Amino acid sequence: MCETCGCGKPDEFKIHDHNHDHSHEHEHDGHWHSHPHDHAHPPKKVIALNLDILSENNRLAERNRGYFEAKEVLCLNLVSSPGSGKTSILEKTIQALIPSRRIFVIEGDQQTARDADRIEKSGAPAIQINTGSGCHLDANMVHLALKKLEVENHSILFIENVGNLVCPALFDLGEKKRVVVISVTEGDDKPLKYPYMFQSADLCIINKTDLLPYVDFSVESAKNYAKQLNPKLEFILMSAKTGEGMPLWFDWLGKQS
Ligand SMILES: Nc1nc2c(ncn2[C@@H]2O[C@H](COP(=O)(O)OP(=O)(O)OP(=O)(O)O)[C@@H](O)[C@H]2O)c(=O)[nH]1
Ligand SMILES: [Mg+2]
């Protein structure tokens, strides 16, 4: 059980290694098993335990960040609710940039390697983490995936987080920037309902703009709600389907590295 959000079993996740073998290897995080507080205290200790888990995650995230900085890898954490278009955006990005940039992808989903398969078909090496009943990636999962992905110096590493606007907000993965994707079919009030994600993001992609004529979604309202929470948040309107906004996204990527 994840003590922070109650979402899953920490030793349940597995990593699909597309690059080296095609088995469904199970990775276990020794830290979780050896955590001195696990099951050792009555419920009154739960809050302290949660802080322990987040501070330990932050420590591991700093280790990942140091690794990325040493290799001059631009690491971006893509977060959103399920189905907002993260993988579609990555597919288009890889197809457009791969001649000039090396791109690697870590995919997070509860089950299946479908997204990693899509990414590899687009032309970038990818590794899939399945979190089982867990609803977010954590820094240790990323660390273990990095041991297999062999990310090259000066490349871009996209981490597509599990589709969930809640728990991934709490877990720093060591990324340089966090990109939250919302799609126009989700409603323009999402920033108000899930404020932590928008507070912690650097860029907000509003995707599926090709569907704006058919849905009740005010771009201005969504932006205003998000800016109330995070005045520094940047926005890009995008359609992964038509390609609208892609040049702005590529410009933004170019400015980060
Ligand atoms: N109309 C339209 N459909 C889109 C757009 N982007 C993605 N989709 C569709 O939305 C659905 C979900 O897209 P994905 O890219 O799988 O979304 P995701 O965020 O990766 O989904 P999860 O990984 O399951 O959270 C697919 O059917 C896509 O074809 C877009 O810009 N416009
Ligand atoms: Mg996806």
Nearest ligand, CA 238 = 1
Report the residue among 78, 87, 88 best suited for mutation to probe ligand 1: largest number of ligand atoms under 8 A from its CB: 88
Domain regions of the chain by residue span:
14-256
Distance 207 CA to ligand 1 centre (A): 9
Query: Sheet harboring 24-26: ordered strands across?
Result: 24-26, 14-16, 126-130, 103-109, 156-160, 74-80, 177-183, 203-207, 234-237
- Residue 115 CA: nearest ligand 1 atom is 23
Integer Cα distance of 131 and 147 in angstroms: 17
**Tokens at 155, concatenated:** 């490349």
Residues contacting 205, CB < 8 A, separation 6+: 89, 179, 180, 181, 182, 235, 236, 238, 245, 249
DSSP state of 240: T
Taking only the tens place, the pLDDT of each residue in 126-148 is 999 999 999 999 999 999 999 99
Q: Is 92 in the pocket of ligand 1 (CB under 6 A)?
A: no
Instruction: List the residue whose alpha carbon is closest to atom 30 of ligand 1.
Output: 208
Beta bridge partners of 105: 126, 158
The overall average pLDDT reported for the chain is: 88
Beta bridge partners of 166: none
Distance 6 CA to ligand 2 centre (A): 23
Taking only the tens place, the pLDDT of each residue in 170-221 is 999 999 999 999 999 999 999 999 999 999 999 999 999 999 999 999 999 9
Q: What is the pTM of this model?
A: 0.88
CATH superfamily label, 14-256: P-loop containing nucleotide triphosphate hydrolases (3.40.50.300)
- The span from the first CA to the last CA of the chain, in angstroms, equals 37
Write down the pLDDT at residue 95: 97
Q: Quickly count: other Cβ atoms within 10 Å of residue 236's Cβ.
A: 19
The residue-averaged pLDDT of 93-98 equals 97
Q: Quickly count: other Cβ atoms within 10 Å of residue 118's Cβ.
A: 17
Instruction: List the residue whose alpha carbon is closest to atom 27 of ligand 1.
Output: 83
Write down the residue that tokens 């078909």 correspond to: 121
**Tokens at 172, concatenated:** 């720093």
Taking only the tens place, the pLDDT of each residue in 39-91 is 444 445 555 657 788 999 999 999 999 999 999 999 999 999 999 999 999 99
Instruction: List the residue whose alpha carbon is closest to atom 29 of ligand 1.
Output: 88
Q: Which helix (H) or strand (E) holds 74?
A: strand 74-80
Write down the pLDDT at residue 3: 55
Distance 125 CA to ligand 1 centre (A): 20
